[in-house]
């Protein structure tokens, strides 16, 4: 067994420099408490020579602070969330914070378990893409002085700051684009609508269809678990089959997320139905994969990386100033036009007939 060199502490350095631990602490933590130049240099020198690494546990215990923030998302394998996390992580790093990532896999119990672990670790900030969590949890977090920001999944708890995305407007925007392109029979294909976001997109779709005097066509999946990106892909394929079987003669489909759209395109192509010539496909998310397939996916961009960056920035501000204003930021959708949607029939603006 290898002998491990005893870790050097602030007291070791104090002893070597013939000073008190207090003085060492003042030097090493850049306190503005005055320490004579000679001592300061001596201590710094010894610290460097001994490879001193401060023990944050001690520091944080005393000061009741923490430089780690918790992040809970459904699954990191979902490219949308991995972008969000990258955004969070990179801005956290710049401020010397560290990120603990947790994958709830859409399991409320797991989510609670993680939150408890994070509380025990004394995190003071939490960013959460929560699923169906009752407000109770958030109350307790607030009581413990933990700042939390909810992202993406609209959570109905009161008194909690959020960064949302305007799903309704996104749904409208997508649908209107298809309508502008001359489509009349537009289907909305969606995974199970057990999530507020999906219901919101659907609402946007409905509103846009209604205002154009068109009949909504809904094709919904029965089951759904997207902890695995492939499952969305597969439900996309299934939904495409369902659509075809329904014989609704849609000339365009709009899906609740890109992965689903990609599945749809895949299924359609493999049945020799040409996209977009025979059926146009509009996605929702704007993940990178969308531009790697053929045809490149027209979609609604939900700013993922930026959302992470913003959430982290806001969180750190909340934690450091006592700026406890509750807020809600609503990010706006953006249409990314690529090649999976094509014009149909008459002019763009004026509908035929």
Partner DNA sequence: GATGTGACAGAAATCGATTACTGTATATGC
Partner DNA sequence: GCATATACAGTAATCGATTTCTGTCACATC
Positions that interact with DNA (CB under 7 A): 7, 9-11, 18-23, 25-26, 28-29, 31, 33-39, 54-55, 57-59, 61-64
Minimum Å gap between C-beta 210 and a second copy is 33
Nearer to a second copy, 4 or 213 (CB): 4
Does the protein bind a second copy through residue 158 (CB under 8 A)?
Answer: no
Q: Select the span of 216-224, 276-284, 290-298, 328-336 touching a second copy (CB under 8 A).
A: 290-298
User: What distance in Å separates the CA atoms of residue 295 and residue 234, rounded to the nearest whole number?
Assistant: 18
Q: Does 7 bind a second copy (CB under 8 A)?
A: yes
138/202 with CB nearer a second copy: 138
Site for a second copy in 165-224 (CB under 8 A): none
Buried b or exposed e, range 162-198, using 16+ CB within 10 angstroms: bbbbbbbbbbbbbbbbbbebbbbbbbbbbbebebbbb
Q: Is 293 near a second copy (CB under 8 A)?
A: yes
- Residues in the chain, overall count: 353
| DSSP secondary structure code for residue 5 in this structure | P
Residues 259, 229: contact at Cβ < 8 Å? yes
Say which entry of DNA, a second copy, none residue 2 contacts (CB below 5 to 8 A, set by partner kind): a second copy
Binding residue for a second copy, selected from 125, 204, 263, 333, defined by CB under 8 A: 263
How far, in Å, CA of 154 to CA of 121, rounded? Answer: 26
Q: Is 345 in the site for a second copy (CB under 8 A)?
A: no
Q: What is the 3-state secondary structure (H, E, C) of 268-306?
A: HHHCCCCCCCCCEEECCECCHHHHCCCCCCEEEECCHHH
User: Per CB under 8 A, does 108 bind a second copy?
Assistant: no
Among 9, 25, 50, 60, binds a second copy (CB under 8 A): 60
CB 342 within 8 Å of CB 299: no
Give residues 78-107 in contact with a second copy (rule: CB under 8 A): 79, 82-83, 85-86, 89-90, 93, 96, 98-103
Q: What is the rounded distance in angstroms from the CA atom of residue 234 to the CA atom of residue 264?
A: 9
75 interface partner picked from a second copy, DNA, none, CB below 5 to 8 A per type: a second copy
Q: Which of 163, 178, 167, 265 is nearest to 214 (CA)?
A: 178
| Minimum distance, C-beta of residue 51 to a second copy, in the bound complex (Å) | 7
Q: Which is nearer to DNA, 42 or 169 (CB)?
A: 42
116 binds, among DNA, a second copy, none (CB under 5 to 8 A by kind): a second copy
CB of 54 or CB of 135, closer to DNA: 54
For the CB of residue 54, give the shortest distance to a second copy in the complex, in Å.
6
Of 119 and 273, nearer to DNA (C-beta) is 119
Backbone angles phi, psi at 209, to 5 degrees: -65, -45
Q: Which does 63 bind (CB under 5 to 8 A by kind): a second copy, DNA, none?
A: DNA
Query: How many of the other CB atoms lie within 10 Å of CB of 79?
Result: 17
Closest CA to 194 of 220, 163, 229, 162: 220
- Counting Cβ atoms within 10 Å, is residue 352 exposed (0-12), middle (13-18) or buried (19+)? exposed
Query: At its nearest, how many Å lie between DNA and the CB of residue 70?
Result: 18
What is the DSSP secondary-structure string of 75-95?
A: -TTSHHHHHHHHHHHHHHHHT
Q: Both tokens of residue 59?
A: 């520091």
Distance in angstroms (rounded) separating the CA atoms of residues 353 and 11: 87
- Name the site residues for a second copy (rule: CB under 8 A): 1-2, 4-5, 7, 51, 53-58, 60-61, 68, 75-77, 79, 82-83, 85-86, 89-90, 93, 96, 98-103, 110, 113-114, 116-122, 140, 142-145, 229-230, 233, 262-263, 266, 269, 288-289, 291-294, 322, 324
């Amino acid at each position: 067994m290898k002998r491990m060199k005893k870790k050097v502490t602030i007291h070791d350095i104090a002893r070597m420099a013939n000073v008190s631990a207090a003085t060492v602490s003042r030097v090493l933590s850049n306190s503005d408490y005055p320490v004579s130049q000679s001592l300061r240099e001596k201590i710094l020198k010894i610290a460097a020579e001994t490879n001193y690494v401060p023990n944050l546990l001690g520091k944080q215990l005393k000061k009741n602070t923490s430089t780690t923030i918790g992040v809970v998302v459904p699954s990191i394998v979902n490219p949308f969330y991995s972008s969000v996390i990258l955004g969070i992580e990179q801005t956290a790093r710049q401020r010397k914070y560290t990120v603990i990532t947790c994958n709830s896999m859409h399991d409320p119990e797991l989510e609670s378990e993680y939150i408890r672990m994070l509380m025990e670790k004394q995190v003071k900030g939490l960013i959460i893409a929560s699923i169906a969590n009752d407000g109770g949890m958030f109350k307790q977090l607030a009581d413990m002085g933990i700042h939390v920001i909810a992202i993406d999944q609209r959570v109905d708890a009161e008194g909690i700051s959020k960064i949302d995305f305007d799903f309704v407007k996104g749904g409208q925007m997508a649908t209107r684009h298809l309508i502008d392109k001359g489509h009349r029979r537009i289907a909305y294909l969606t995974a199970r609508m057990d999530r507020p976001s999906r219901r919101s997109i659907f609402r946007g779709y409905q509103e846009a269809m209604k205002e154009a005097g068109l009949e909504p066509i809904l094709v919904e999946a029965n089951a759904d678990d997207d902890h695995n990106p492939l499952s969305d892909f597969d439900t996309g394929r299934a939904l495409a089959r369902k659509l075809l079987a329904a014989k609704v003669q849609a000339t365009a489909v709009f899906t609740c997320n890109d992965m689903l759209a990609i599945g749809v395109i895949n299924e359609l192509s493999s049945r020799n139905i040409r996209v977009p010539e025979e059926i146009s496909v509009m996605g929702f998310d704007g993940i990178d994969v969308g531009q790697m397939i053929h045809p490149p996916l027209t979609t609604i961009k939900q700013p993922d990386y930026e959302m992470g960056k913003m959430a982290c920035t806001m969180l750190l501000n909340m934690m450091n100033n006592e700026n406890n204003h509750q807020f809600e930021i609503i990010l706006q959708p953006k249409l990314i036009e690529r090649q999976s949607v094509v014009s149909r029939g008459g002019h763009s603006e004026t509908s035929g007939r």
